[in-house]
Chains A and B, each alone.
Chain A
Amino acid sequence: MFNKVLIANRGEIAVRVLRSCRELGLQTVAVFSDADRTAPHVLMADEAVRIGPPPSSESYLQMGHLLEAAAKTGAEAIHPGYGFLSESGPFARQVEAAGLVWIGPPARIIDEMGDKLAARKRAVEAGVPIVPGLDDATADPALLLQAAEDMGYPVLVKAAGGGGGKGMRRVERAEDLPGALETARSEAGSAFADDRVYLEKYLSAPHHIEVQIFADQHGRTVSLGERECSVQRRYQKVVEETPSPFISDDLRRELGEAAVRIASACGYIGAGTVEFLVDGEQNFHFLEMNTRLQVEHPVTELVTGLDLVAEQLRVASGEPLSFSAADIRPLGHAIECRIYAEDGFDGFAPSIGTILELTTPGGPGVRLDHGIRAGMEISPYYDPLLGKLCTWGANRDQARRRMSRALEELRIVGVRTTVPFCVAVMEHPAFVEGRYDTHFIDRYIGELSRHAARSNAHLPAVAALGAALYAERESPRPNHRAGGTGATSPWLEAGRRRQRSR
């Protein structure tokens, strides 16, 4: 195996990858922008190289800077994490051309599966049902209108080259189609430099279920089971769990087999995820394939006992997978909550500021992957994901209760986070009973925000009392607040500031 790995990422995933490298005795090279000079991934790495100013377009997305950093430090392999350049065929190609090992599937597979139309074609060849649609990125409006008419409204306009909800439009009526096509094309063009769009039937209330697969360079492709990812907002996942509380064992087996067929059909190598939409009658349709490590991979690790990053390193270095299909016997249940610097009850508005204090949860069945520390500034430059809290339980109920408990233990002072939102999800009856689909958040956002107030009715009074005692205690201290406007106590000053800034 190679000896030194450059991690072309930041935040929690850079820390996650670094940990497996270290366990395998590999040297690690971190890269950082000026905003991340003292970020945890830099502090933990053996070596660290500056790659540019804060904006990711000038640092973490600069292929040349990353390759220079690898050359300078003598790194022999590059792990891209997720996001940034992880699904860039051109970058994978440049890494290989520089004589380095790319820890991910080969560039040609990234290109092929990144093109949604090509991926749908592969699925059909592998005998896997796809969401009905018009598999032709045609610009002919008459043809598109006819196709939409045939599949029936609502339909989705989707970008062939992208994901993450960009370039995606839901269309209810024929008269809205031309406008939606135009916006989607322009959005897709600027986001993915590819303005091809196509039509898909809009499935109502589907489940978003994905299968983790792993393939080595010796022809072995294995399914590691599914993850239920239906708690989503704006097509972005917030909570994931495995196994899915919704699907039958028959469907579970079918999905695993379908995912392995698709991966085998394209000669897949490394870690990958095949995403499916499953409707209320347990009919499934291939959605897309992600050619990277997923954010939510820890839940699979918790029930299988595997280290997926370590397997990625092994596969990339040419070694066979450390397990076979027969070894995969998932145990218990795992849940992940994504901790974003966002206020879940205020339309997921981003929150920036300095993390003043961080207290992390522990105890049985708890795992926290994060890339933050006290004193660190959360800037608007990067993805707002601070970390991922995962719990394992012998059964779903234990995992869920542990999650509520661990979320309460996690204290992040300084920025608003999705922690309170996740607690409300854990305790919502539809989630408790495992009856939810991708409309969960939209349908229950009102109930979720009321939940917090209901279940902790006495806590506002305690908070108010705490603030009052604090103010009384701090008030005689001179220079408590900067400004010196003659206020006799900090609450008066704060009140004035508030009024002035209205």
Chain B
Amino acid sequence: MIIKALIGDREIDLQLRPGDGLPTLSVAGRQADMDLAQVSDYSWSLLIDGQSHYLSIRPSREGYQVLLREQTYQVRLQSEMDLAMEKLGLRRGTAAEAGTVQAPIPGLIGAIQVSEGDAVEAGDILLVLEAMKMENELPAPLSGVVEKIHVTRGEIVEKGAVLVVISAAREG
């Protein structure tokens, strides 16, 4: 059961309760009337006590991207399980390495200057990201070995896409 949502740094307690079909929403101690109907592949009509909302929803890297009125919201959802694990200090994937190089802006992958297995020094240029008519050279964030290259030359990537993963060199 999903009980919490995060939008930016804002936490929203969803007050949802498991139901037979859709979960139900509790508003001021009273059960709200909810109806979610699919409009098209990505769009939905949500009635909450008769209030009409027209949403477009799609899974995204961040969780869900929801378009409502003219605004886009990045929604991350947390279930009871997620919260329990967080309490125990078991945040999923905290091992997310510092060696992950992401696209700072959307663009086109230009020359890739390293291969998997190469040893690199912090600051070495890994690849070129072409965007807004500029060539942006992306450096290695730390010294180590190129573990994985996720992109190929000529590929178009979105902001935040993982491009290269470097595993840190062992000290000593």
Interface residues of A (CB under 8 A from B): 349-353, 356-357, 359, 379-381, 407-408, 410-411, 413-414, 416, 419-420, 423, 452, 456, 459-473, 481, 489-492, 494-502
Contact = CB atoms under 8 A, between A and B. Distances in A.
B142 interface: no
Q: Which of A408, A414, A459 has most chain B Cβ within 10 Å?
A: A459
Q: Which of A352, A379, A420, A456 counts the most B-chain CB atoms under 10 A from its CB?
A: A352
Given A349-B159, A353-B158, A492 B79 contact: yes
Contacts of B122: none
* Residue among A379, A381, A414, A498 with the highest chain B CB neighbour number at 10 A: A498
Given A352-B106, A465-B25, A459 B69 contact: yes
A359 B54 CA distance: 12
Nearest to A470: B57
Contacts of A381: 108
A101 B76 CA distance: 57
22 contacts: A350-B131, A352-B156, A356-B42, A356-B56, A408-B70, A413-B43, A459-B71, A460-B73, A462-B48, A469-B22, A469-B23, A469-B46, A470-B57, A492-B79, A495-B92, A496-B92, A498-B62, A499-B92, A499-B96, A501-B102, A501-B160, A502-B93
A357 B41 CA distance: 8
Contacts of A408: 69-70
- A contact patch SS: helix
A497 B61 contact: yes
Given A472-B2, A498-B63, A501-B102, A463 B44 contact: no
B143 interface: no
A460 B73 CA distance: 7
B61 A464 contact: no
A419 B23 CA distance: 33
B94 interface: yes
B69 A380 contact: no
Given A459-B68, A463-B75, 14 more contacts: A349-B105, A352-B106, A352-B107, A353-B158, A380-B106, A413-B56, A413-B58, A462-B48, A468-B5, A469-B46, A470-B44, A470-B57, A494-B61, A497-B61
A470 B64 contact: yes
